[in-house]
Structures are given as structure tokens and as C-alpha cells.
Amino acid sequence: MSQSPSNTNVVSCNAGCNKDFSIKQLNTSRMEDSIDRVWFSCGHCEAEYTAYYTNPEIRDLQKKISYYVSRKKDVSHLQKELSEKMNLLESRFKDNAK
């Protein structure tokens, strides 16, 4: 999947039909050990793309960040921690897919 430069909501389906499409909705599928896969699909050929994975710890961090942002607090340290945890979880699933 590649992103169209003119519109951040439009992506190109490079796993299927190679057509541009808008992301209409994010879907969530529960996987093992309370891990959620958040994904979207091409509106033309239904090719699926994983946006990200979450686990209970990541979801708690997301809630905490949302809480602090709504109160105009600095969340940069929490965002860095969240990014590290999400990258670690993503690499776990990419490694298992090989």
C-alpha cells in the first residue's frame, strides 16, 4: 500500500488491484492473548492492510495519552513509549508471518 501525495486519506492498493481508494473505516479483529489487529481493506478488491496492533498495555497508553491531550498536557514521553511498544508488537507479528 502506498499513500497518494495529494490526499492523506487516499492510498494505492499495491497488494491487489493497484487502484487508489479512500480508507472508509478501520476494522478490529481480536487475535491471541488479547491482541487486536486494526486493519482496513481496499474498496475495489478487498485486499487487507494492517494499520497496527494493540495489546492491553498499548490500549491503556492510548487512553492515557488521550486523557492528557484533552487537558493540554505534554505527552511526548508517552507517545515515544507507545511508539516503541507498538513497533515491538508489530515486529513480533511480522516475524511470525515469515
Q: List Cα–Cα distances, 87 to 10, 92, 93, in angstroms.
A: 24, 9, 10
| 19-60 pLDDT per residue, tens | 999 998 999 999 999 999 999 999 999 999 999 999 999 999
Could you give the strand order of the β-sheet that contains 20-22, starting from the edge strand earlier in sequence? Answer: 2-3, 10-12, 20-22
Taking the model in full, what pTM does it have?
0.80
- Mark whether 7 and 39 lie in a shared domain: yes
- pLDDT computed for residue 4 by the predictor: 46
Domain that holds residue 96: 55-98
Residues 3, 46 within the same domain: yes
Of the two residues 46 and 7, the one the predictor is more confident about is 46
The H or E element that residue 51 is part of is strand 48-54
Question: Is 47 in the same domain as 65?
Answer: no
Are residues 82 and 69 part of one domain? yes
What's the structural domain count of the chain? Answer: 2
Same domain, 42 and 71: no
User: Beta strand 27-30 with 36-41: parallel, antiparallel or unpaired?
Assistant: antiparallel
Compare 16 and 75 and report the one with higher pLDDT.
75
Among 6-10, 57-61, 68-72, the minimum mean pLDDT is found in 6-10
pLDDT at 9: 75
